[in-house]
Amino acid sequence: MNILLLGSGGREHALAWKMKQSPLCSSLFIAPGNAGTSAFGINVNIGVNDFAVQKTFCLKHNIDMVVVGPEDPLVNGVYDFYKNDEALEHIIVVGPSAKGAQLEGSKTFSKQFMQRHNIPTAAYAEFDDLSFEQGVDYLEEHALPIVLKADGLAAGKGVLICQSNEEAIEVFTSMIKGRQFGEASSRVVVEEFLAGIEISVFVLTNGSDYKIIGHAKDYKRIGEGDTGLNTGGMGCVSPVPFADAFFMKKVEKNIIKPTIKGLYSEGLEYKGFVFFGLILVNDEPFVIEYNCRMGDPETEVVIPRLNNDLVALFVAMDKGELEEQRIEIDERACCTVMAVSGGYPGDYKKDIAIEGLTEGLGEDVLLFHAGTRQAGDTIVTNGGRVLAVSAFGSGIKEAVNTAKKGLEKISFEGMYYRKDIGYEFE
Ligand code: AMP
Ligand code: GLY
Protein backbone atom coordinates (compact mmCIF):
# COMPACT_ATOMS: atom_id res chain seq x y z
CA MET A 1 0.00 0.00 0.00
CA ASN A 2 1.08 3.56 -0.64
CA ILE A 3 0.44 5.68 2.42
CA LEU A 4 0.30 9.44 2.92
CA LEU A 5 0.71 10.61 6.51
CA LEU A 6 -0.33 14.17 7.35
CA GLY A 7 1.55 16.11 10.03
CA SER A 8 5.00 17.12 11.19
CA GLY A 9 5.43 16.40 14.91
CA GLY A 10 6.77 13.72 17.22
CA ARG A 11 3.44 11.92 16.87
CA GLU A 12 3.91 11.67 13.11
CA HIS A 13 7.53 10.52 13.47
CA ALA A 14 6.35 7.72 15.78
CA LEU A 15 3.51 6.78 13.39
CA ALA A 16 5.90 6.80 10.40
CA TRP A 17 8.42 4.62 12.29
CA LYS A 18 5.66 2.14 13.15
CA MET A 19 3.90 2.03 9.77
CA LYS A 20 7.16 1.57 7.88
CA GLN A 21 7.63 -1.72 9.80
CA SER A 22 4.45 -3.14 8.26
CA PRO A 23 4.83 -5.55 5.36
CA LEU A 24 1.67 -3.91 3.98
CA CYS A 25 3.43 -0.56 3.57
CA SER A 26 5.21 -0.17 0.24
CA SER A 27 5.71 3.60 -0.02
CA LEU A 28 5.29 6.11 2.75
CA PHE A 29 5.02 9.85 2.18
CA ILE A 30 4.81 12.41 4.96
CA ALA A 31 3.27 15.84 4.36
CA PRO A 32 5.08 17.94 5.40
CA GLY A 33 7.04 15.77 7.91
CA ASN A 34 10.23 16.78 9.72
CA ALA A 35 13.94 15.93 9.67
CA GLY A 36 13.20 12.66 11.46
CA THR A 37 10.33 11.33 9.35
CA SER A 38 12.50 11.37 6.21
CA ALA A 39 14.30 8.26 7.53
CA PHE A 40 11.06 6.27 7.02
CA GLY A 41 9.57 7.80 3.91
CA ILE A 42 9.62 10.78 1.60
CA ASN A 43 8.73 14.16 3.01
CA VAL A 44 6.55 16.14 0.63
CA ASN A 45 6.03 19.84 0.92
CA ILE A 46 2.23 19.86 1.14
CA GLY A 47 0.28 21.45 3.97
CA VAL A 48 -2.06 19.33 6.11
CA ASN A 49 -4.96 21.58 5.07
CA ASP A 50 -4.07 21.80 1.35
CA PHE A 51 -6.67 19.23 0.31
CA ALA A 52 -6.67 20.10 -3.40
CA VAL A 53 -2.87 19.72 -3.61
CA GLN A 54 -3.15 16.43 -1.71
CA LYS A 55 -5.64 15.20 -4.30
CA THR A 56 -3.21 15.75 -7.17
CA PHE A 57 -0.46 14.05 -5.16
CA CYS A 58 -2.63 11.05 -4.21
CA LEU A 59 -3.67 10.43 -7.79
CA LYS A 60 -0.11 10.76 -9.10
CA HIS A 61 1.34 8.38 -6.49
CA ASN A 62 -1.55 5.92 -6.25
CA ILE A 63 -2.10 6.54 -2.57
CA ASP A 64 -4.24 3.85 -0.90
CA MET A 65 -4.38 5.22 2.63
CA VAL A 66 -4.24 8.67 4.27
CA VAL A 67 -3.43 8.79 7.96
CA VAL A 68 -4.26 12.11 9.59
CA GLY A 69 -2.04 13.14 12.52
CA PRO A 70 -3.35 16.50 13.80
CA GLU A 71 -6.88 17.72 14.55
CA ASP A 72 -6.93 20.76 12.29
CA PRO A 73 -7.49 19.02 8.93
CA LEU A 74 -10.03 16.67 10.55
CA VAL A 75 -12.12 19.51 11.91
CA ASN A 76 -11.73 21.19 8.50
CA GLY A 77 -13.24 18.13 6.79
CA VAL A 78 -10.32 16.23 5.27
CA TYR A 79 -12.23 12.93 5.61
CA ASP A 80 -15.28 14.34 3.85
CA PHE A 81 -13.11 15.86 1.10
CA TYR A 82 -11.73 12.43 0.19
CA LYS A 83 -15.00 10.55 0.61
CA ASN A 84 -17.04 13.02 -1.45
CA ASP A 85 -14.68 12.89 -4.42
CA GLU A 86 -15.18 10.04 -6.90
CA ALA A 87 -11.49 9.93 -7.71
CA LEU A 88 -10.47 9.66 -4.04
CA GLU A 89 -13.30 7.82 -2.30
CA HIS A 90 -11.50 4.44 -2.52
CA ILE A 91 -8.69 5.76 -0.29
CA ILE A 92 -8.78 4.60 3.33
CA VAL A 93 -8.77 7.71 5.52
CA VAL A 94 -7.76 7.21 9.15
CA GLY A 95 -9.57 9.99 10.95
CA PRO A 96 -13.22 10.96 11.54
CA SER A 97 -15.56 13.03 9.39
CA ALA A 98 -15.86 16.74 10.19
CA LYS A 99 -19.05 15.99 12.15
CA GLY A 100 -17.31 13.30 14.21
CA ALA A 101 -14.31 15.58 14.75
CA GLN A 102 -16.65 18.03 16.52
CA LEU A 103 -15.98 15.91 19.60
CA GLU A 104 -12.72 17.88 19.71
CA GLY A 105 -13.55 20.85 17.48
CA SER A 106 -16.40 22.14 19.64
CA LYS A 107 -16.46 21.98 23.42
CA THR A 108 -20.20 22.77 23.46
CA PHE A 109 -20.83 19.92 21.00
CA SER A 110 -18.83 17.47 23.11
CA LYS A 111 -20.46 18.54 26.39
CA GLN A 112 -23.95 18.19 24.88
CA PHE A 113 -22.98 14.83 23.38
CA MET A 114 -21.84 13.59 26.82
CA GLN A 115 -25.07 14.79 28.39
CA ARG A 116 -27.16 13.04 25.74
CA HIS A 117 -25.35 9.77 26.42
CA ASN A 118 -24.94 10.01 30.19
CA ILE A 119 -21.16 10.06 30.03
CA PRO A 120 -19.62 11.34 33.28
CA THR A 121 -18.11 14.82 32.87
CA ALA A 122 -17.90 18.08 34.85
CA ALA A 123 -21.11 20.11 35.25
CA TYR A 124 -21.17 23.10 32.86
CA ALA A 125 -23.00 25.94 31.21
CA GLU A 126 -22.39 27.62 27.85
CA PHE A 127 -22.60 31.27 26.86
CA ASP A 128 -22.14 33.51 23.82
CA ASP A 129 -22.62 37.18 22.88
CA LEU A 130 -26.39 36.97 23.31
CA SER A 131 -26.21 35.39 26.77
CA PHE A 132 -23.15 37.37 27.90
CA GLU A 133 -24.92 39.11 30.82
CA GLN A 134 -26.33 35.82 32.14
CA GLY A 135 -22.79 34.48 31.90
CA VAL A 136 -21.44 37.27 34.09
CA ASP A 137 -24.21 36.64 36.67
CA TYR A 138 -23.43 32.91 36.57
CA LEU A 139 -19.71 33.54 37.12
CA GLU A 140 -20.35 35.87 40.06
CA GLU A 141 -21.98 32.99 41.95
CA HIS A 142 -19.72 30.14 40.72
CA ALA A 143 -17.64 28.07 43.17
CA LEU A 144 -13.85 28.35 42.83
CA PRO A 145 -11.73 27.61 40.90
CA ILE A 146 -13.62 28.17 37.64
CA VAL A 147 -12.70 26.51 34.35
CA LEU A 148 -13.33 28.53 31.16
CA LYS A 149 -13.03 26.88 27.76
CA ALA A 150 -13.16 28.47 24.32
CA ASP A 151 -15.64 26.48 22.25
CA GLY A 152 -13.44 26.02 19.18
CA LEU A 153 -9.86 24.94 18.47
CA ALA A 154 -7.31 27.25 20.07
CA ALA A 155 -4.03 25.35 19.57
CA GLY A 156 -4.26 23.87 23.07
CA LYS A 157 -4.45 27.33 24.70
CA GLY A 158 -8.22 27.72 25.00
CA VAL A 159 -8.64 26.41 28.57
CA LEU A 160 -8.13 28.81 31.46
CA ILE A 161 -8.52 28.04 35.15
CA CYS A 162 -9.43 31.08 37.26
CA GLN A 163 -8.88 31.40 41.00
CA SER A 164 -11.36 34.25 41.65
CA ASN A 165 -14.77 35.26 40.34
CA GLU A 166 -13.38 38.64 39.21
CA GLU A 167 -10.59 36.98 37.21
CA ALA A 168 -13.11 34.60 35.64
CA ILE A 169 -15.34 37.52 34.54
CA GLU A 170 -12.31 39.30 33.09
CA VAL A 171 -11.20 36.23 31.13
CA PHE A 172 -14.79 35.53 30.03
CA THR A 173 -15.14 39.11 28.77
CA SER A 174 -11.91 38.98 26.83
CA MET A 175 -12.89 35.62 25.35
CA ILE A 176 -16.38 36.61 24.21
CA LYS A 177 -16.15 40.37 23.67
CA GLY A 178 -12.44 40.61 22.82
CA ARG A 179 -12.42 37.36 20.77
CA GLN A 180 -9.22 36.40 22.60
CA PHE A 181 -9.07 33.18 20.56
CA GLY A 182 -10.85 34.61 17.51
CA GLU A 183 -14.14 32.94 16.55
CA ALA A 184 -13.11 29.95 18.69
CA SER A 185 -13.99 31.98 21.81
CA SER A 186 -17.25 33.48 20.53
CA ARG A 187 -18.84 30.74 22.65
CA VAL A 188 -17.49 29.71 26.02
CA VAL A 189 -18.03 26.70 28.24
CA VAL A 190 -17.92 27.39 31.98
CA GLU A 191 -17.10 24.23 33.83
CA GLU A 192 -16.91 22.91 37.35
CA PHE A 193 -13.29 22.27 38.41
CA LEU A 194 -12.45 18.61 38.94
CA ALA A 195 -9.49 17.74 41.16
CA GLY A 196 -7.76 14.45 40.44
CA ILE A 197 -5.13 12.63 38.48
CA GLU A 198 -5.37 12.67 34.68
CA ILE A 199 -4.91 9.81 32.26
CA SER A 200 -5.36 9.51 28.50
CA VAL A 201 -6.90 6.41 26.92
CA PHE A 202 -6.66 5.70 23.18
CA VAL A 203 -9.14 3.81 21.06
CA LEU A 204 -9.27 2.92 17.38
CA THR A 205 -12.84 2.72 16.08
CA ASN A 206 -14.83 2.44 12.86
CA GLY A 207 -17.77 4.15 14.53
CA SER A 208 -19.40 0.95 15.80
CA ASP A 209 -16.62 -1.39 16.99
CA TYR A 210 -13.48 -0.35 18.81
CA LYS A 211 -10.22 -1.56 20.30
CA ILE A 212 -8.30 0.08 23.13
CA ILE A 213 -4.73 0.46 21.85
CA GLY A 214 -3.12 1.92 24.95
CA HIS A 215 -3.07 4.55 27.64
CA ALA A 216 -0.60 7.08 29.03
CA LYS A 217 -0.11 9.91 31.48
CA ASP A 218 1.06 13.23 30.05
CA TYR A 219 3.04 15.91 31.95
CA LYS A 220 1.66 19.19 30.66
CA ARG A 221 3.39 21.83 32.79
CA ILE A 222 6.74 23.28 31.79
CA GLY A 223 8.28 23.11 35.28
CA GLU A 224 9.34 20.21 37.46
CA GLY A 225 6.82 19.18 40.10
CA ASP A 226 4.04 20.17 37.66
CA THR A 227 4.58 23.92 38.00
CA GLY A 228 4.49 26.83 35.59
CA LEU A 229 2.76 27.27 32.26
CA ASN A 230 0.88 24.62 30.31
CA THR A 231 2.61 23.19 27.26
CA GLY A 232 1.63 20.72 24.54
CA GLY A 233 3.15 18.01 26.77
CA MET A 234 6.65 17.61 28.24
CA GLY A 235 6.71 13.85 28.60
CA CYS A 236 4.60 10.75 29.12
CA VAL A 237 4.62 7.40 30.83
CA SER A 238 2.79 4.18 30.01
CA PRO A 239 1.42 2.11 31.64
CA VAL A 240 -0.05 4.25 34.40
CA PRO A 241 0.14 2.19 37.61
CA PHE A 242 -3.43 2.90 38.82
CA ALA A 243 -4.94 1.95 35.44
CA ASP A 244 -5.36 -1.71 36.33
CA ALA A 245 -7.86 -4.10 34.75
CA PHE A 246 -10.60 -3.07 37.20
CA PHE A 247 -10.14 0.62 36.39
CA MET A 248 -10.01 0.02 32.63
CA LYS A 249 -13.25 -2.04 32.79
CA LYS A 250 -14.93 0.91 34.47
CA VAL A 251 -13.60 3.30 31.80
CA GLU A 252 -14.87 0.97 29.10
CA LYS A 253 -18.30 0.53 30.63
CA ASN A 254 -18.97 4.12 31.73
CA ILE A 255 -17.14 6.06 29.04
CA ILE A 256 -15.86 4.23 25.95
CA LYS A 257 -18.92 2.07 25.21
CA PRO A 258 -21.47 4.90 25.58
CA THR A 259 -19.26 7.17 23.45
CA ILE A 260 -18.99 4.69 20.57
CA LYS A 261 -22.67 3.85 20.89
CA GLY A 262 -23.45 7.57 20.83
CA LEU A 263 -21.41 8.09 17.64
CA TYR A 264 -23.25 5.20 16.04
CA SER A 265 -26.75 6.18 17.14
CA GLU A 266 -26.24 9.77 15.98
CA GLY A 267 -24.90 8.65 12.60
CA LEU A 268 -21.55 10.37 13.11
CA GLU A 269 -19.08 8.81 10.66
CA TYR A 270 -15.96 8.01 12.62
CA LYS A 271 -13.09 5.86 11.40
CA GLY A 272 -10.07 6.80 13.42
CA PHE A 273 -8.65 7.40 16.86
CA VAL A 274 -10.54 8.66 19.88
CA PHE A 275 -8.36 10.17 22.60
CA PHE A 276 -10.23 10.13 25.92
CA GLY A 277 -8.74 12.74 28.27
CA LEU A 278 -9.90 11.48 31.66
CA ILE A 279 -9.61 12.60 35.26
CA LEU A 280 -10.02 10.33 38.23
CA VAL A 281 -12.19 11.77 41.02
CA ASN A 282 -12.80 9.51 44.04
CA ASP A 283 -11.92 6.46 41.94
CA GLU A 284 -14.46 7.41 39.26
CA PRO A 285 -13.31 8.42 35.76
CA PHE A 286 -14.73 11.62 34.21
CA VAL A 287 -14.14 12.95 30.69
CA ILE A 288 -12.14 16.19 30.67
CA GLU A 289 -11.98 16.28 26.88
CA TYR A 290 -12.20 14.23 23.73
CA ASN A 291 -9.65 14.55 20.96
CA CYS A 292 -10.24 13.13 17.51
CA ARG A 293 -6.62 12.01 16.98
CA MET A 294 -3.68 10.53 18.83
CA GLY A 295 -1.94 12.64 21.48
CA ASP A 296 1.50 14.14 21.25
CA PRO A 297 3.66 13.05 23.12
CA GLU A 298 1.33 10.17 24.13
CA THR A 299 1.86 8.54 20.71
CA GLU A 300 5.58 8.34 21.46
CA VAL A 301 4.87 5.85 24.28
CA VAL A 302 1.61 4.20 23.16
CA ILE A 303 2.84 3.29 19.66
CA PRO A 304 6.20 1.80 20.76
CA ARG A 305 4.29 -0.43 23.22
CA LEU A 306 1.79 -1.60 20.59
CA ASN A 307 3.05 -4.88 19.11
CA ASN A 308 0.40 -5.14 16.37
CA ASP A 309 0.94 -4.22 12.75
CA LEU A 310 -0.58 -0.72 12.74
CA VAL A 311 -1.32 -0.66 9.00
CA ALA A 312 -3.12 -4.01 9.32
CA LEU A 313 -5.17 -2.53 12.16
CA PHE A 314 -6.14 0.43 9.98
CA VAL A 315 -7.21 -1.90 7.17
CA ALA A 316 -9.25 -4.02 9.61
CA MET A 317 -10.83 -0.87 11.04
CA ASP A 318 -11.83 0.31 7.58
CA LYS A 319 -13.33 -3.07 6.68
CA GLY A 320 -15.30 -3.27 9.93
CA GLU A 321 -13.15 -6.17 11.18
CA LEU A 322 -11.71 -4.66 14.34
CA GLU A 323 -13.57 -7.17 16.51
CA GLU A 324 -11.38 -9.97 15.14
CA GLN A 325 -8.14 -8.20 16.04
CA ARG A 326 -6.21 -9.07 19.18
CA ILE A 327 -4.35 -6.10 20.55
CA GLU A 328 -0.90 -6.97 21.89
CA ILE A 329 0.84 -4.54 24.18
CA ASP A 330 4.47 -4.76 25.31
CA GLU A 331 4.64 -5.64 29.01
CA ARG A 332 7.50 -3.21 29.56
CA ALA A 333 7.05 0.39 30.65
CA CYS A 334 7.76 3.11 28.13
CA CYS A 335 8.37 6.77 28.84
CA THR A 336 9.16 9.75 26.67
CA VAL A 337 10.93 12.95 27.66
CA MET A 338 10.52 16.01 25.45
CA ALA A 339 13.41 18.40 24.81
CA VAL A 340 12.12 21.91 24.14
CA SER A 341 13.52 25.24 22.95
CA GLY A 342 14.63 27.76 25.59
CA GLY A 343 11.70 30.09 26.38
CA TYR A 344 8.97 27.61 25.34
CA PRO A 345 5.95 27.77 25.82
CA GLY A 346 6.61 31.50 25.42
CA ASP A 347 8.78 32.96 22.66
CA TYR A 348 11.74 30.92 21.51
CA LYS A 349 14.37 30.92 18.77
CA LYS A 350 14.36 28.58 15.79
CA ASP A 351 17.06 27.34 13.40
CA ILE A 352 19.51 26.34 16.14
CA ALA A 353 21.85 23.48 15.18
CA ILE A 354 21.24 20.26 17.12
CA GLU A 355 24.33 18.26 18.13
CA GLY A 356 24.59 14.58 18.95
CA LEU A 357 21.88 13.22 16.64
CA THR A 358 24.25 10.88 14.83
CA GLU A 359 25.19 8.99 17.97
CA GLY A 360 23.34 5.83 18.90
CA LEU A 361 21.23 6.68 21.93
CA GLY A 362 21.42 3.19 23.35
CA GLU A 363 19.45 -0.01 23.44
CA ASP A 364 15.74 0.34 24.12
CA VAL A 365 15.86 4.03 23.18
CA LEU A 366 13.92 5.67 20.34
CA LEU A 367 14.45 9.19 19.12
CA PHE A 368 11.43 10.98 17.67
CA HIS A 369 11.81 14.39 16.08
CA ALA A 370 9.07 16.93 16.87
CA GLY A 371 10.11 20.41 15.70
CA THR A 372 13.16 19.86 13.50
CA ARG A 373 14.18 20.71 9.97
CA GLN A 374 16.98 19.63 7.68
CA ALA A 375 19.07 22.68 6.70
CA GLY A 376 21.78 21.48 4.33
CA ASP A 377 23.87 18.96 6.25
CA THR A 378 22.61 20.12 9.63
CA ILE A 379 19.43 19.41 11.52
CA VAL A 380 18.10 22.55 13.19
CA THR A 381 15.30 23.36 15.63
CA ASN A 382 12.00 24.30 14.05
CA GLY A 383 9.52 24.57 16.92
CA GLY A 384 8.96 24.78 20.66
CA ARG A 385 8.93 21.05 21.20
CA VAL A 386 12.03 19.78 19.40
CA LEU A 387 12.71 16.11 20.19
CA ALA A 388 11.12 13.30 22.16
CA VAL A 389 13.35 10.55 23.48
CA SER A 390 11.40 7.41 24.35
CA ALA A 391 12.80 4.47 26.27
CA PHE A 392 11.65 1.11 27.54
CA GLY A 393 12.32 -0.22 31.03
CA SER A 394 11.13 -2.92 33.38
CA GLY A 395 9.39 -0.13 35.30
CA ILE A 396 8.73 3.59 34.90
CA LYS A 397 11.81 4.64 36.84
CA GLU A 398 14.16 2.57 34.70
CA ALA A 399 12.51 3.77 31.48
CA VAL A 400 12.81 7.42 32.53
CA ASN A 401 16.46 7.04 33.52
CA THR A 402 17.27 5.41 30.18
CA ALA A 403 15.49 8.18 28.25
CA LYS A 404 17.38 10.84 30.22
CA LYS A 405 20.72 9.10 29.52
CA GLY A 406 19.82 9.19 25.82
CA LEU A 407 18.97 12.90 26.02
CA GLU A 408 22.31 13.68 27.65
CA LYS A 409 24.00 12.87 24.33
CA ILE A 410 21.98 15.53 22.51
CA SER A 411 22.38 19.26 22.83
CA PHE A 412 21.32 22.55 21.31
CA GLU A 413 21.52 26.08 22.64
CA GLY A 414 18.72 26.69 25.14
CA MET A 415 17.65 23.00 25.29
CA TYR A 416 15.47 22.19 28.30
CA TYR A 417 13.70 19.06 29.49
CA ARG A 418 11.95 17.97 32.65
CA LYS A 419 14.03 15.54 34.67
CA ASP A 420 11.11 14.43 36.82
CA ILE A 421 8.77 12.76 34.30
CA GLY A 422 6.98 9.93 36.13
CA TYR A 423 8.07 11.32 39.51
CA GLU A 424 4.95 10.29 41.40
CA PHE A 425 5.38 6.66 40.42
CA GLU A 426 8.95 6.21 41.65
P1 AMP B 1 -8.29 20.54 27.59
O2 AMP B 1 -7.72 21.43 26.54
O3 AMP B 1 -9.77 20.46 27.60
O4 AMP B 1 -7.56 19.23 27.65
O5 AMP B 1 -7.86 21.17 28.98
C6 AMP B 1 -6.51 21.40 29.27
C7 AMP B 1 -6.21 21.01 30.68
O8 AMP B 1 -6.97 21.81 31.58
C9 AMP B 1 -6.61 19.58 31.04
O10 AMP B 1 -5.65 18.64 30.66
C11 AMP B 1 -6.75 19.70 32.53
O12 AMP B 1 -5.49 19.63 33.15
C13 AMP B 1 -7.32 21.07 32.72
N14 AMP B 1 -8.77 21.01 32.84
C15 AMP B 1 -9.69 21.06 31.85
N16 AMP B 1 -10.93 20.97 32.34
C17 AMP B 1 -10.83 20.84 33.67
C18 AMP B 1 -11.75 20.69 34.75
N19 AMP B 1 -13.07 20.66 34.53
N20 AMP B 1 -11.27 20.56 36.00
C21 AMP B 1 -9.94 20.59 36.22
N22 AMP B 1 -9.02 20.74 35.25
C23 AMP B 1 -9.44 20.87 34.00
N1 GLY C 1 -0.60 15.84 24.82
C2 GLY C 1 -1.89 16.34 24.70
C3 GLY C 1 -2.46 16.38 23.35
O4 GLY C 1 -1.95 15.80 22.40
O5 GLY C 1 -3.50 17.01 23.19
Task: Please check whether residue 322 is in contact with residue 260, taking contact to mean a CB–CB distance below 8 angstroms.
Answer: no
CA of 176 to the centre of ligand 2 (A): 25
Q: Is 233 in the pocket of ligand 2 (CB under 6 A)?
A: yes
- Compute the distance between CA of residue 16 and CA of residue 6 in angstroms, rounded to an integer: 10
Nearest CA to ligand 1 atom 4: 289
List, in order of start, the domains of the chain with CATH numbers: 2-84 (3.40.50.20), 124-192 (3.30.1490.20), 197-324 (3.30.470.20), 333-425 (3.90.600.10)
Q: Pinpoint the alpha helices (H) of 230-293.
A: 245-251, 257-265
Query: What would the mean pLDDT of 379-394 be, rounded to a whole number?
Result: 97
CA of 298 to the centre of ligand 1 (A): 16
Task: Please check whether residue 214 is in contact with residue 242, taking contact to mean a CB–CB distance below 8 angstroms.
Answer: no
Task: Please check whether residue 281 is in contact with residue 107, taking contact to mean a CB–CB distance below 8 angstroms.
Answer: no
Strand partners for 365: 391
Query: What would the mean pLDDT of 151-179 be, rounded to a whole number?
Result: 92
CA 280 to chain centre: 19
Which distant-in-sequence residues (6+ apart) come within 8 Å of 390 by Cβ? 14, 300, 301, 304, 334, 335, 336, 365, 366, 367, 368, 403
The ligand placed nearest to the CA atom of residue 70 is 2
Distances (CA, A) of 289 to 217, 228, 279: 14, 21, 9
Phi-psi region for residue 53, left (φ > 0), alpha (ψ -120 to 50) or beta?
A: alpha
For 37-62, write each residue's pLDDT tens digit.
999 999 999 999 999 999 999 999 99
The ligand placed nearest to the CA atom of residue 298 is 2
CA of 140 to the centre of ligand 2 (A): 31
Q: Write 140-146 long-range contacts (CB < 8 A, 24+).
A: 140/165, 140/169, 141/165, 142/168, 142/190, 143/192, 143/193, 144/193, 145/193, 146/190, 146/191, 146/193
For 211-234, write each residue's pLDDT tens digit.
999 999 999 999 999 999 989 999
CA of 198 to the centre of ligand 1 (A): 9
Mutation choice for ligand 2 from 275, 299, 336, CB with most ligand atoms inside 8 A? 275
For 249-263, write each residue's pLDDT tens digit.
999 999 999 999 999
CA of 129 to the centre of ligand 1 (A): 23
Q: What percent of the chain has pLDDT over 90?
A: 96
Burial 190-200 (b: 16+ CB within 10 A, else e): bbeebeeebbb
The ligand placed nearest to the CA atom of residue 273 is 2
- Residue-averaged pLDDT of the chain: 96
Q: How many CB atoms lie within 10 A of CB 378?
A: 14
What type of residue sits at position 179? R
Tell me the residue length of the chain.
426
Q: Is 291 in the pocket of ligand 2 (CB under 6 A)?
A: yes
Give the pLDDT of residue 172. Answer: 94
Helix (H, G, I), strand (E, B) or coil at 223: strand
- The CA radius of gyration of the chain, in Å to the nearest whole number, is 21
Closest of 348, 335, 338 to residue 407, by C-alpha: 338
β-pairing, 272-281 vs 197-205, is antiparallel
CA of 32 to the centre of ligand 1 (A): 30
Give the pLDDT of residue 426. Answer: 67
Give φ, ψ of 409 to 5 degrees.
Answer: -85, -10
Mutation choice for ligand 1 from 288, 291, 296, 298, CB with most ligand atoms inside 8 A? 288
